[in-house]
Structure 1
Amino acid sequence: MPALRRLARLALASTTPAGRAVILLGLVSTVVAAEAGYEEFRLIAVMCGLLVLVALLLFALPTRVRARLELRPAHTIAGETGLGELQVTNLRLTPLYHPLVSVPLDAERDDRRGAQRVHVRMPVLRRNQPVVEQFEVPAVRRGVLRVGPAGARRTDPLGFFQRQAAWSSAAELLVRPRMVSVEGLGPGSVKDLEGTPSDQVSMSDLAFHALREYVRGDDLRHVHWRSSARAGRLYVRQYHDTRRSHVVVLVDDNRAAYADPEDFELALQIAASVVMRVALDEFDLSLVCGPQQLSGAAHHVLDAFCYSELAAGDLVVSARTAAHLAPDASQLIVVSGSRLDLGLLADVRAAFADDVRFLGFRADLGADPDETGARAPQLITVDRLERLPGLLAAHVRGIVL
């Protein structure tokens, strides 16, 4: 009985208004023929039954379509569109004439957007001839957008029954935060033989700096014998330390640190902009944002932002995790919200070595643009993403706005 009830519900859900009208007509004709004995109504009931039976048989035939849904590339930026590609091959003996393919977009991450579907009108699909169509995927919000599965409305020639038949599997579109271009993040380096010269002087490295007089304890391998012979005393070479920054980006995922969830989105936009600057400077990079903990290329870090969500995180614990993840860190960048407990910053900085440079941001959409540094002078308060380049440039130059 439960199976019959499920089958009945499925048939009822798949029946179109035209199908329900024919079925109702057949039932009424059957009752009238049985009660009044009219052969005409019995004939109508038989015809209605035959039509429904033929429609069901044709409706039950397999679609026999092979489809593949791909996103190229598999990521985009919030507010922009992604590009999808749908390849369909008709395996039936007869052509499919201009099917309308529907691609649903999962809206679980943003209930305000509501359910959406992208519709793709295909050309005539002839047997065993692959057809490729491209379509745009609107990506309004940061996150992971589930695209698909692609499918088409399956119906019978009489239009009595219809259902949505899935043709392909679903794909995921990674929607990264918005970003702006920022200038350099200032110095903050550790030794690296493939790095760039710094202002620190060393007795053994690659970038020559100057000569100085020999002091007891200096390595004789660095004696410049030609200058020493000419001056009559020993001179040794000095070098610049060659250095390469390892930047750690720490994003606070504690919902208590943000006055509004949109402030967290701004925090991720700030962090993503910093990551792009680090990538352009060819520095090493590590990210910690709650469960998103990784070191590597910038595109992997930007993809990790797509999965970031507010939680009951602990900034100090995250800082210790970051210090363990990047023991050679030279610069720490912390991004939090307007309700950050400033007393935690001392513990955050204590998790790293003393020579690690610190740079902090507060994401606060409700901040007064004229007082961005008044409430937390050790942090750069950002009220709009577009103001980030100017605020950061002023901070690097030592200008307080």
Structure 2
Amino acid sequence: MNVDTPLPSNTADAKAARRAAKAARKRERTAARAAARRAKRRGGVSESQAPAGSSDATSGPGTAAGEEPLGLRERLGGFWMRRIHPVLDVISPIGWAVLGVAVACWILGLLLRITELNVIALTLTVPLVLAALFVLGRTSYKVNLDLQSHRVVVGTRAVGRVEVANPTQRVILPSRIELAVGQATAQFMVPRLAAEQSHEELFAVPTKRRAVLVVGPVRSVRDDPLSLMRRQVTWARSQELYVHPRTVRLDGAASGFLRDLEGTPSSDLSSSDIAFHALRDYTPGDDRRHVHWRTTARTGKLMVRQFEETRRSHVVVALDNLADHYASEDEFELAVSAAASISAQTMREEKELTPFSFDALQRTATFRVLMDDYTVLEQLRDRHSLHELGQQAADLAPNASAVMMVVGSHTTARELNSAANQLPIGVLAVAIRCVDDAEVRRSSIGGLDVVTLGDLDALPKALRAVGR
């Protein structure tokens, strides 16, 4: 199956939809103008206080004259869209050119009695007649488009199938089926189908980059060898395929770096931490292991220990998605994968997570929606300063214990220092600087740890370097 053929941008269905929408808008504007004219006529008669009888004589015929053309236009428009437009839309641009030349030759040849023009007209008419025979007739298919999974990771193939069945009691001749896949089309032939017979075709979509691909719709196509006429019918709607960024698991020492984060101090009261705070009256549902029996014996009522939560881990993953800060598309994809990997590991360890970029806050309800948000993330062409990223991190998570900023190779040390200065005091700040094919190395700018990353597989090693 070929998926490298460019997808036609002016398909029959697309043009029909655009023309139908345009006709609907035109009808709405016409109806609004007619209503405005009728309201103006009624208002004009009332204000001028016309004599009795003159109002009926003016408004009656005027209204009828205003409404009748409107209804006629609607009927003509509906007839055009239902009957004429589908027939004319079958002819391709090449077919229209051939038809125009043939008509001109016929007219000039017959009027001027030039035999050569008549021969040319006949020569051009014969292919048009044969092309019409190719597209005549109706085909009744039942088509099912089934994707094995609507979410895959970059580098893996998305597998699906198209099932074409003949639901009628007559034989359907062979035809060609087109399946749109992103900006390309896959084509395959459907053989002759007897009554109640079906044909199944498997396909695989290679995924080289992070994207949201639209698979479908499925169309049956009938055309002639010269492409003078083309008739297509849509049978199955399109479906979305999410190609998630590639991520790596941060096991071992790298995962331990996130696991050992102490968090930030908290003044929230709890009944199950290690810092004793005070005693309080027992309430139904309290753990009896926390009952303070000496105080209970002295006061004559149950008293339980109340604790204070000591520290709470909260990781912020701030992704710089400004296009000016990256040397290439691959460098930005590396940054997205690094941010997604850290976010995924934080979620697996059930820590509080706040992932965001300049223009979006990624959702953390489930792992799937988190990866979906990273899939649709795009580079910004706007002008922003990197210190805004640090300010957003401080505003979104003022009690964060660690802020991981993922930036590009064009980010300067001054910009990184400016962003780090916006973070609250005591926060562990790490900048992961993504550079194509660079070796892992660690440096520091004030209180900011800077790690250079050149390959996604080296991310665990880079985090181990920070953890030392």
- Shared fold by TM > 0.5? yes
Which of 171, 174, 177 pairs up with 1:101? 177
From the two aligned structures, give the one with the greater helix fraction.
2
- SS of the equivalent of 2:459 reads helix
Bigger CA radius of gyration: 2
Write the mapping of 1:2-401 to structure 2, written as runs, cut at 5 A: 11-13=91-93, 52-53=128-129, 55-56=131-132, 59-90=135-166, 94-96=170-172, 99-107=175-183, 116-122=184-190, 125-127=193-195, 133-155=201-223, 161-163=229-231, 165-183=233-251, 184=255, 185-188=258-261, 205-207=271-273, 219=279, 224-225=292-293, 241=309, 245-296=313-364, 297-311=366-380, 312=382, 313-326=384-397, 329-349=400-420, 351-367=422-438, 369=439, 372-374=441-443, 378-396=449-467, 398=468
Aligned equivalent of 1:233: none
Whether the aligned pair in 1 keeps the contact of 2:175 and 2:222 (CA below 8 Å) is: no
**Could you tell me which amino acid in structure 2 is paired with residue 187 of structure 1?**
D
From the two aligned structures, give the one with the greater strand fraction.
1
**Could you tell me which amino acid in structure 2 is paired with residue 272 of structure 1?**
A
Separation of aligned partners in 2, 1:96 and 1:245: 65
**Could you tell me which amino acid in structure 2 is paired with residue 262 of structure 1?**
D
- SS of the equivalent of 1:292 reads coil
- Give identity over the alignment, percent: 26
Separation of aligned partners in 2, 1:375 and 1:356: 15
Count of paired positions: 351
The CA deviation at 1:224 is 4.8
For residues 338 and 92 of structure 1, do their structure 2 counterparts lie closer, same or farther at Cα, with a shift above 3 Å needed?
same
Separation of aligned partners in 1, 2:309 and 2:291: 18
**Could you tell me which amino acid in structure 2 is paired with residue 105 of structure 1?**
V
**Which runs of no fewer than 5 residues in structure 2 stay unpaired?**
1-79, 282-289, 298-303
For residues 322 and 129 of structure 1, do their structure 2 counterparts lie closer, same or farther at Cα, with a shift above 3 Å needed?
farther
The CA deviation at 1:301 is 1.8
Whether the aligned pair in 1 keeps the contact of 2:141 and 2:167 (CA below 8 Å) is: yes
Aligned equivalent of 2:31: none
For residues 228 and 67 of structure 1, do their structure 2 counterparts lie closer, same or farther at Cα, with a shift above 3 Å needed?
closer
The CA deviation at 1:163 is 4.9
The CA deviation at 1:11 is 3.0
**Could you tell me which amino acid in structure 1 is paired with residue 343 of structure 2?**
V
Q: What is the TM-score when the length of structure 1 is the normalising length? A: 0.68
Separation of aligned partners in 2, 1:119 and 1:394: 51
Separation of aligned partners in 1, 2:324 and 2:126: 66
Q: What is the TM-score when the length of structure 2 is the normalising length? A: 0.60
**Could you tell me which amino acid in structure 2 is paired with residue 288 of structure 1?**
F
Moved more, 264-273 or 51-60: 51-60
The CA deviation at 1:379 is 1.3
**Could you tell me which amino acid in structure 2 is paired with residue 309 of structure 1?**
E
The CA deviation at 1:362 is 0.6
The CA deviation at 1:122 is 4.6
Separation of aligned partners in 2, 1:160 and 1:257: 50
The CA deviation at 1:341 is 3.1
